[in-house]
Structure 1
Amino acid sequence: MPLTFDMPFDDLLTYQGTNPRPADFDEYWARALAALDDTPADVEIVPAEFQTPYARCSHLWFTGTGGARVHAKLLQPVEPQGPAVLEFHGYTGDSGEWVSKLPYVALGHTVAALDMRGQAGLSVEEIPVAGWSMATYLLRGIDDTPDNLLYRHLFLDTARLARIVMGLDGVDPDRVAATGFSQGGGLTLACAALEPRIRLAAPVYPFLSDYRRAWELDLEKKPYDEIAAYFRKRDPLHRREDEIFTRLGYVDVQHLAPRVRARTLLTVSLADRVCPPSTQFAAYNKLTCEKSYRTYPDYGHETLPGTADEIYSLLATL
């Protein structure tokens, strides 16, 4: 295996991460899940214009923490077989085309694809934050209380979607999978951590892991470059550096990884300068579930040949 640009490959397999874990991390997420339980979901399912003979296609709406209305595309087979797939999209993106979900529906799988709040989809971000919110999602809420970090709400949205789907007619709650690329990969891990009934997880080059390591590599690539932008504008002398990274630790998926119970397949690009391999292995190495990884030595943060087929074959076994 060739050297990666950030550390030797053998070191990746034992790397335990750099970003600090807050001392009250477990209490933080216990409080967050309790807040989710206390928030009525107010689920609404509305037929979509797009339809097929073998699937009911709908807009699924629910209320998340803070009162935001959150949207997902929902495709339910006319003859469901029990499994379901949750899809999470990349940074600033959306839930994608209806037609892209149909291969899973053809297997009899229910599919739900989430639109993340405030990004390109239909979900609405309605939670004001104090301080820094300049053209960023990653650090939105960083100067507010830790309970108002945007990614806290987004992680909880993934768990709520999983619970809703698990309760649908035709879905076996023990046969649900999650998958996504980049931000979607990080959200896949967060979802599987916060909803331990997730059976399979297939994250691809996950974002949202080991923030301090990504910053220290100084690759000047979006979206981790938002961290440097924050320091330049709000803390040029780095007096709050430890505080900022500790606060980001609440929404660092490497610290949630030990909670994952799903069988997990991680796909990593070893030349990825957007989500560096070390940040991905920081989460992978903390997984205590059944796990495996696939590496693309010559690829970066881009389309990886064969990956969609591999994930489809895995999720077909649900």
Structure 2
Amino acid sequence: MPMLDMPLNELKAYPGRNPRPADYDAYWEAALEEMRATDPQVELIPSDFQAPYAECFDLYFTGVRGARIHAKYIRPKNADTPHPAVLQFHGYSGDSGDWQDKLQYAALGFSYAALDVRGQGGLSEDSGGHKGNTFQGHFIRGLDDAADNLLMRHVFLDTAQLASIVMGFAEVDENRVGATGWSQGGALTIACAALEPRIKRAATVYPFLSDYKRVWEMDLAKDAYAELRDYFRHFDPQHKRQEEIFTKLGYVDIQHLAPRIRAEVLYGVGLMDSICPPSTQFAAVNKIESPVQTEIYPDFGHEGLPGLPDRIFQFLSEL
């Protein structure tokens, strides 16, 4: 079989390379305290797009550091109350997508919320205020600032805050909420399930934002990870601060959040993925202590994985 990364038996045992900061747990507890102290000022505004069997809303809330965050929210008409809900997270630089592809869950009797990541392709704000480079790339934003001002910290908190808001809606059963996403969305699914342990099922596909040091050592700091190479070239060209930089990135490395997950997890991976190398993905998945079902595609990369969307729908519909 062609091989881009490690053999599968080694992937399943791979522990990850990127350092975990010594104060990691305290860092995230402080972050969650900040999130809980933020008044979300939730707004539900009926959308111009509607469907005969569902109500569609633009959902706005205030996230940490004052950013106004947007999500699409759909709730079924005439469904059982309370009923299950699913959260969706999108790929890097993208947005929450169109309304129509979310209606399958409303037809099933689920509510559905799709987040726009702050500062990317949707309607959410990036409140800024970061020292250092803000020209290109989100996971390096804040590397030259205090650790609690890393942009991805705020994004991870947005996922947990959205989950908490949806779980608080009268129509939603807080004990039957799932999350899903591919690539960056897969990473945010892991972050959400880690920071909001009431998430019951999480379907993550080739998750991004994991094991940055391994990406670098594989010479794959390109495409989605290109900003890592750019950062070193501009701000540490001799790599004198390399360990410091990778350790700071460790705060927003999903592999270190993964042990907090209590949800049942479905994980999809293409073993020829050169965008998010399989070993970096397994670094996170191997740390999940709750049940994990793995769907492996030996000949596929960072692309559509045949049959997996149907598998994810079935997995989440069991909520």
TM-score by length of 2: 0.98
Deviation per CA, 1:155-201, whole angstroms, max 9, x where unpaired?
A: 00000000000011211000000000000000000000000000000
The one-letter code matched in structure 1 to 2:177 is V
What displacement does 1:3 show? 5.6
- 1:206 alignment partner in structure 2: 207
Write out aligned runs for 1:1-318 (5 A).
Answer: 2=1, 4-81=3-80, 82-318=83-319
Matched residue SS, 1:113: strand
The one-letter code matched in structure 1 to 2:148 is D
Verify the 8 A CA contact 2:94 2:122 in the aligned structure 1: yes
Deviation per CA, 1:98-138, whole angstroms, max 9, x where unpaired?
A: 00100111000000000000000000101210012121112
Matched residue SS, 1:112: strand
What displacement does 1:221 show? 2.8
Distance 1:275 1:166 in 2: 31
What displacement does 1:80 show? 3.0
Matched residue SS, 1:76: strand
The one-letter code matched in structure 2 to 1:250 is Y
What displacement does 1:225 show? 1.8
The one-letter code matched in structure 2 to 1:263 is E
Matched residue SS, 1:224: helix
Matched residue SS, 1:281: helix
Verify the 8 A CA contact 1:215 1:225 in the aligned structure 2: no
The one-letter code matched in structure 2 to 1:160 is Q
The one-letter code matched in structure 2 to 1:152 is R
Verify the 8 A CA contact 1:3 1:9 in the aligned structure 2: no
Verify the 8 A CA contact 1:262 1:289 in the aligned structure 2: yes
Distance 2:281 2:117 in 1: 21
Structure 1 runs of 4+ with >2 Å offset: none
Verify the 8 A CA contact 1:80 1:171 in the aligned structure 2: no
Where does structure 2 lack aligned partners over 5 or more consecutive residues? Answer: none
Deviation per CA, 1:240-270, whole angstroms, max 9, x where unpaired?
A: 1001000000010000000000000110010
Distance 1:309 1:241 in 2: 42
Where does structure 1 lack aligned partners over 5 or more consecutive residues? Answer: none
The one-letter code matched in structure 2 to 1:36 is M
Distance 1:75 1:8 in 2: 42
Matched residue SS, 1:20: coil
Verify the 8 A CA contact 2:202 2:264 in the aligned structure 1: yes
Q: Structure 1 residues 122, 58: CA separation in 2 closer, same or farther (over 3 Å shift)?
A: same
Verify the 8 A CA contact 1:83 1:175 in the aligned structure 2: yes
The one-letter code matched in structure 1 to 2:242 is E
> When the two structures are aligned, how many residues end up with a matched partner?
317
The one-letter code matched in structure 2 to 1:175 is R
TM-score by length of 1: 0.98
Verify the 8 A CA contact 1:57 1:74 in the aligned structure 2: yes
Distance 2:255 2:192 in 1: 13
What displacement does 1:223 show? 1.4
Distance 1:36 1:90 in 2: 23
Verify the 8 A CA contact 1:131 1:143 in the aligned structure 2: yes
Matched residue SS, 1:249: helix
